[in-house]
């Protein structure tokens, strides 16, 4: 019974599978029929037969044309087939040619491709956002990068200051001997090679100390992670202040160099101009070996002897160190702007005071017994208020007619140490009894920066030349008084001779016939 039941189940399963296959065949046939109807196979066959007929017609026409051309053209001799040896030589030539071309391309072609013109790609670097950590790290990197330069400058300064007498004496003897024999440049090259060799040994782990001045150990900075918000803010302010001061010094140096070459202050640039012409003529006339010897000899004497004397005697440096004086006299752009603003304000104030004088030019408005020149000098206004108010003098003290507008100059007070007090720009006036200097930086009517000198107190007056190395009599006036250790110098005066004549004449008048006490 069980076997019969199994047979029946198998029959039923086979019957069911057959029914399913039949259904699937029917569905496939139906899909094929639909596909044929949609694609129109018969139409495609007809078009394909047409295309084949066209192709056969074109082939027959081409063969007919070729036959006609062959019949019209003359018979040509049959070409000889190349021998196998010739084929071998040609192949060998081709291989040699290809090898030569490949070798030439590998050697030269790569470099020729570098000369192809291509448009330059402009890439914009992304700017980093402001970060206190990044700012401090950049300042630290700048300090570390500038450390070799600062150490080198410290060693040079110590060598010039004779910090170690034996080292400086040995260096001086070696340098002067090299300069005497014309070996200054080879000596510097040898020192550069020696420095690189020592750096190589130090990079390999050698401990070599080659410094005249011992290195200063910098204190360790505290960690920035444990700082409070106020301490971090103060740290950012300190770093920003250092960056501001550094950029300010760099800007001052660049602006002074620019103003030196742009004739902003002609008196100083003229000296550089003359020096360049002298150097050019010397290099054209004298042999280069002699020029190198002279330059090397002067550099050695200046570095080891003159600079040592100047650094040991500050007063001597302030008086005779020409490059330092010229550099200090060079103005920066902010200083030039202040000068121009002071000049404009002076002109405006003078115009405001001159205008009412012109309107009162008739005799009816001029007081009796007062001349027109006295009236104009009385109404003179350097900055604010009348002349006597600016210098705290009596009303009868007025500038002489020869200096109604004053003489532009700079006061060099060699008793002062600060740069702001050492040199002042302004205007010089002379009255019947006083020599008055008005500083351009004065903001009020009676500024402390103004200078008033009584003519009878002057002990010596003479023409002065700020830079003794230049020809001529200079452009300054030296005034000696008992209250100053060194004479005051009024330099950079365009009309120096005229001013000296007026001041000296009035000084002699006061010395021979003293005026009334004020």
Prediction pTM value: 0.44
Within-domain flag for 442: yes
pLDDT at 173 (0 to 100) = 92
All residues at 6 or more sequence positions from 409 whose CB lies less than 8 Å from its CB, including other chains: 425, 426, 427, 428, 437, 476, 490, 491, 492, 493, 499
pLDDT in tens, 169-178: 999 999 999 9
Lowest mean pLDDT segment, chosen from 196-200, 347-351, 501-505: 347-351
pLDDT in tens, 311-324: 888 888 888 888 88
pLDDT in tens, 385-430: 578 888 888 888 889 988 888 888 888 887 765 555 677 888 999 9
All residues at 6 or more sequence positions from 395 whose CB lies less than 8 Å from its CB, including other chains: 378, 386, 388
pLDDT at 414 (0 to 100) = 73
Tokens of residue 164, six digits: 């170690």
Residue 434 structural domain? 387-512
Within-domain flag for 222: no
Shared domain check, 274 and 150: yes
Query: Which has the closest alpha carbon to 300: 194, 173, 183, 213?
Result: 173
Within-domain flag for 47: no
Shared domain check, 398 and 280: no
Look up the CATH number of the domain holding residue 496. Answer: 2.30.29.30
Tokens of residue 152, six digits: 């080198």
Shared domain check, 396 and 281: no
Total number of domains in the chain: 2
Higher local confidence (pLDDT), 298 or 357 = 298
Domain stop point among 269, 285, 301: 285
Report how far apart, in Å, the C-alpha atoms of 101 and of each of 87, 88, 94, 96, 109 are.
21, 20, 10, 9, 10
Within-domain flag for 151: yes
User: Mean per-residue pLDDT for 271-293?
Assistant: 89
pLDDT > 50? residue 378: no
Spell out the SS3 assignment of 223-257.
CCCCCCHHHHHHHHHHHHHHHHHHHHHHHHHHHHH
**Distance (Å, whole) CA 138 – CA 130:** 12
Shared domain check, 281 and 139: yes
Tokens of residue 275, six digits: 């020096």
What three-state secondary structure class fits 502? helix
Shared domain check, 393 and 265: no
**Distance (Å, whole) CA 329 – CA 467:** 12
pLDDT in tens, 478-500: 898 888 888 888 888 888 888 99
Tokens of residue 55, six digits: 């192709």
Shared domain check, 396 and 275: no
Concatenating the DSSP letter of every residue in 116-176 gives: ---PPPP-PPPPPPP-HHHHHHHHHHHHHHHHHHHHHHHHHHHHHTTSSHHHHHHHHHHHH
Higher local confidence (pLDDT), 468 or 357 = 468
CB 433 within 8 A of CB 347: no
CA-based max dimension of the chain: 168
Within-domain flag for 242: yes
pLDDT band of residue 104 (cuts 50, 70, 90) is confident
Within-domain flag for 360: no
pLDDT > 50? residue 221: yes
Shared domain check, 394 and 281: no
What three-state secondary structure class fits 426? strand
Within-domain flag for 414: yes
The chain-wide mean pLDDT, for the chain, equals 76
User: Mean per-residue pLDDT for 182-193?
Assistant: 89
pLDDT band of residue 369 (cuts 50, 70, 90) is very low
pLDDT band of residue 368 (cuts 50, 70, 90) is very low
**Distance (Å, whole) CA 411 – CA 438:** 10
All residues at 6 or more sequence positions from 213 whose CB lies less than 8 Å from its CB, including other chains: 154, 155, 158, 163
**392 in the Ramachandran plot: left (φ > 0), alpha (ψ -120 to 50) or beta?**
left
Range picked from 7-21, 195-209, 335-349 for highest mean pLDDT: 195-209
**How many degrees, rounded to 5, is the angle at CA 42 between CA 36 and CA 48?**
125
Higher local confidence (pLDDT), 189 or 30 = 189
Within-domain flag for 187: yes
CB 434 within 8 A of CB 379: no
Sheet holding 488-491, edge to edge: 451-454, 434-439, 423-430, 407-412, 488-491, 476-480, 460-464
**Distance (Å, whole) CA 368 – CA 355:** 21
């Amino acid at each position: 019974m069980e076997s019969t039941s199994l047979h029946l189940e198998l029959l039923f399963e086979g019957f069911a599978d057959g029914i399913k296959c039949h259904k699937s065949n029917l569905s496939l046939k139906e899909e094929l029929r639909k596909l044929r109807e949609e694609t129109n196979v018969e139409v495609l066959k007809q078009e394909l037969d047409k295309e084949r007929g066209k192709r056969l017609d074109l082939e027959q026409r081409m063969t007919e044309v070729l036959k006609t051309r062959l019949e019209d053209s003359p018979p040509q001799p049959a070409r000889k087939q190349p021998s196998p040896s010739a084929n071998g030589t040609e192949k060998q030539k081709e291989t040699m040619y290809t090898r030569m071309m490949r070798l030439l391309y590998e050697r030269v072609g790569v470099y020729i491709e570098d000369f192809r013109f291509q448009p330059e790609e402009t890439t914009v670097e992304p700017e980093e956002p402001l970060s206190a950590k990044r700012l401090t790290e950049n300042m630290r990197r700048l300090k570390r990068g500038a450390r070799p330069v600062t150490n080198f400058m410290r060693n040079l300064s110590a060598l010039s200051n004779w910090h170690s007498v034996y080292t400086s004496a040995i260096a001086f003897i070696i340098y002067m001997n090299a300069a005497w024999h014309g070996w200054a440049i080879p000596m510097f090259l040898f020192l550069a090679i020696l420095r690189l060799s020592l750096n190589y040994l130090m990079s390999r782990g050698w401990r070599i100390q080659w410094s005249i001045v011992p290195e200063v150990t910098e204190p360790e900075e505290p960690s920035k992670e444990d700082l409070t918000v106020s301490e971090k803010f103060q740290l950012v302010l300190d770093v920003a202040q250092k960056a501001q001061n550094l950029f300010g010094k760099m800007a001052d140096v660049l602006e002074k160099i620019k103003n030196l070459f742009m004739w902003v202050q002609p008196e100083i640039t003229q000296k550089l101009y003359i020096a360049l012409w002298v150097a050019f003529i010397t290099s054209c006339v004298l042999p280069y070996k002699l020029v190198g010897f002279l330059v090397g000899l002067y550099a050695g004497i200046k570095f080891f002897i003159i600079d040592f004397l100047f650094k040991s005697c500050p007063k001597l440096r302030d008086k005779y160190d020409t490059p330092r004086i010229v550099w200090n006299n060079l103005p920066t752009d902010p200083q030039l702007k202040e000068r121009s603003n002071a000049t404009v304000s002076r002109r405006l104030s003078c115009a405001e005071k001159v205008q009412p004088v012109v309107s009162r030019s008739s005799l009816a408005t001029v007081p009796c017994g007062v001349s027109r020149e006295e009236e104009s000098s009385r109404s003179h206004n350097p900055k604010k208020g009348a002349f006597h108010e600016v210098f705290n003098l009596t009303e009868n003290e007025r500038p002489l007619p020869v200096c109604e507008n004053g003489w532009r100059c700079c006061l060099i007070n060699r008793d002062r140490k600060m740069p702001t007090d050492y040199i002042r720009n302004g205007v010089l006036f002379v009255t019947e009894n006083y020599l008055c200097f008005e500083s351009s930086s004065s903001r009020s009517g009676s500024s402390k920066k103004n200078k008033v000198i009584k003519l009878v107190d002057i002990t010596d007056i003479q023409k002065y030349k700020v830079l003794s190395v230049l020809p001529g009599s200079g452009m300054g006036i030296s005034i000696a008084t008992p209250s100053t250790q060194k004479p005051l110098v009024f330099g950079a005066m365009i009309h120096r001779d005229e001013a000296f004549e007026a001041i000296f004449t009035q000084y002699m008048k006061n010395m021979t016939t003293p005026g009334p006490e004020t």
